[in-house]
Homo-oligomer: A and B are copies of this chain.
Amino acid sequence: MKNKTKDQSTEEKILVAARKVFTKKGFAATRTRDIAEESGINLALLNYYFKSKELLFEAVMVEKIAMLFGQLMPVLLETDLSFNKKVELVVERYIDMLLENPDLPIFVMSELRNHPDRFLEKMPVDVILRESHFIRQIQEKHPDQNPIHYLMSILGMVIFPFVMKPVFTKIGKTDEKGFKAMMKERKKLIPKWVEAIMEI
């Protein structure tokens, strides 16, 4: 527990590989040997540092969930910004983050299906719904409607293209570069669309 640099180095090496392999293949399809090989360490070291596949996965999953909500929360809770400004910020930051982590949504959502209870509690969904200024702003504009409708639509327009990315990229119509360009365009389009939707 002394050699801090090297400790962190191997532990981090394992984590880096685990992030990569788990994210790409999912928990069930990932073999601990894959991670060991990817990180260039002995298989036993993985258990030495992380005790089990489950615990290593949990470490990765917690990080990913944090990424998924870390960007979102501060903006949604902020009380000193207009609704439209918040939409701009959320869309811009989220698309930037997802361009760096394209398979984050599909990973988190599909793993959530297999480990239902374990990770839901780590998601601050009730905070968003019950305490966020953003939801309150929606309610002011549309007191008669469920505010989740609008949150869903915004997130759907932002996140869904990343879920569909494998479909639309591999086909050849939209390549990797084209996808990135499209998502950058969406940064400007989505806020305008949302503005229009809210006016109805």
Contact = CB atoms under 8 A, between A and B. Distances in A.
Contact of A160 (B130, B155, B173): B155
B156 A113 contact: no
Interface string A152-183: 11011111110110111011111000000010
A122 to B, nearest CB: 11
Nearest to A130: B173
A129 B167 CA distance: 12
Contacts of A114: 25-26, 29
A4 interface: no
A149 B186 contact: yes
B26 A110 contact: yes
Interface residues of A, number: 56
Interface in A86-137: 103, 105-106, 109-110, 112-114, 116-117, 120, 123, 125-126, 129-130
A185 interface: yes
A193 B145 CA distance: 14
B26 A185 contact: no
A116 B170 contact: yes
Interface of A: 24-29, 103, 105-106, 109-110, 112-114, 116-117, 120, 123, 125-126, 129-130, 145-146, 148-149, 152-153, 155-161, 163-164, 166-168, 170-174, 182, 185-186, 189-190, 192-193, 196-197, 199-200
Given A126-B171, A160-B160, 15 more contacts: A24-B113, A26-B114, A27-B29, A28-B28, A29-B114, A109-B163, A116-B166, A123-B167, A125-B173, A149-B189, A153-B156, A156-B160, A157-B157, A163-B163, A196-B196
